[in-house]
A and B are shown apart, each in its own frame.
Chain A
């Protein structure tokens, strides 16, 4: 004979369900917290950003080279996590941008007799946006903004659909031909979590690149941001980039 529930009993049973859910909800994060304590690195205490002083960049390409070596980026000259662009603005208003092989071997001298108004180098990389469009479009949750503000790609979980590559307004992503998954700058996550600088910052001979954290006082990045005219790339896209440029020319796209 099936058990017959009295109304009181039924309500008591019903009340157990949210209790169990709550219990799970509380213990879940606790486990995570315990895990973090062991590693010695607490992601929640950091919030990374980069500063680039364009008035110091000499376009030598050491950063591009170092990035490829450090992160095992494919050698072909169209896969880059960071690259350098040369802007030449002529007196007649023409703007020419070139980046031969991403600037990995430096730049050849400028050719032609056209009079130059101004010219400069612009290193580019993933902007690690605070509001990243690439993360919004990922259908599986393979790219994400980590607790310390770095936009990362989960290589094992990416399905290679390329939505993120299209969504990035900065062209910072590529599809790794070996794994067929999206890849991009990680701020050298494997280095910064161990207290080292990203490879491009480490090798920059003029210290045009400054790595640091937002919200921390008395750091080189903070000093640069206080004393320079700071701009970000494509601010109208509302991506809130965390790569800050000083002396950025209005012609830079």
Chain B
């Protein structure tokens, strides 16, 4: 074979290059998947593949199509932010009529306690109970309708909901004081807590009822047993300047340093 004036070794080298080049192209075609690089350095088809995965949770709007009343009740209650599937479990198959199995109907205390047991890490104000002390051994739904969980009866004590504050207060110098000594509480607060708020003291004089120089024993609210306590007293006019008491002292656990 002759290619004009080209030396033989150049021809051989060109053949080698050609073979390598062609095989590279073939190997690339074989291994680089279709749709690779269409949208970026990845297989564009995989996006559709991931988008086509099966759905498990239907969403409460789907539940509302059939269970209108329950959803209506729930949406007016303290559980209005909950989706049905939080308690009843994933229900896409049920909604899609792919299965005869009905979603779970939880009755054990543990399900409610997963959110409502007292943990110091939970945000203040979130309703929490101490399991051992709050109506032990009875399922929650005997008193609370899960779709409208506002308690039907007045909770026995403030600590049923305000566990964090109650725990702090119980080991503080204010332990002998009932919550209602400072927080006059309307009857309705136990049923509709947000719309009937308890009173919060707003003036220095309120603390002064007990803690001002010259406060009379008779001024101390009824039912407070202070045997063995010595009430710290200050001059209301000079103590703390223009600050109000709770800017330095935490009322539920006042320091005496």
Interfacial residues, chain A to chain B (CB-CB below 8 A): 28, 32, 39, 41, 43, 55-62, 66, 69-71, 86-88, 105-107, 109-110, 116, 119-121, 141-147, 152, 154-157, 186, 189-191, 193-194, 196-197, 199, 202-203, 205-207
Contacts and interface: CB of A to CB of B under 8 A. Distances in A.
B56 A199 contact: yes
A190 B57 CA distance: 11
B43 A154 contact: yes
A44 to B, nearest CB: 10
A109 B130 CA distance: 10
A202 B90 CA distance: 11
Given A203-B86, A206-B81, 16 more contacts: A39-B48, A59-B122, A66-B90, A69-B56, A70-B55, A71-B53, A109-B117, A146-B47, A155-B49, A156-B43, A156-B46, A191-B57, A193-B51, A196-B55, A203-B57, A203-B83
Given A32-B39, A58-B126, A121-B121, A186 B86 contact: no
B153 interface: no
A154 B59 contact: no
A156 B49 contact: yes
Interface string B68-106: 000000000001011101100110000000000000000
Interface of B: 33, 36, 38-44, 46-57, 59, 79, 81-83, 85-86, 89-90, 113-115, 117-123, 126
A144 B40 contact: yes
Contacts of A119: 120-121
B86 A107 contact: no
B221 to A, nearest CB: 30
Contacts of B123: 55-58, 120
A60 to B, nearest CB: 4
Contact of A190 (B51, B86, B113): B51
B50 A205 contact: no
30 contacts: A32-B44, A41-B51, A56-B123, A59-B121, A62-B115, A66-B90, A69-B89, A86-B121, A87-B121, A88-B121, A106-B113, A106-B114, A106-B117, A109-B118, A116-B120, A119-B121, A147-B39, A155-B46, A155-B49, A157-B33, A157-B43, A186-B50, A189-B50, A190-B53, A199-B56, A199-B57, A202-B57, A203-B86, A205-B81, A207-B81
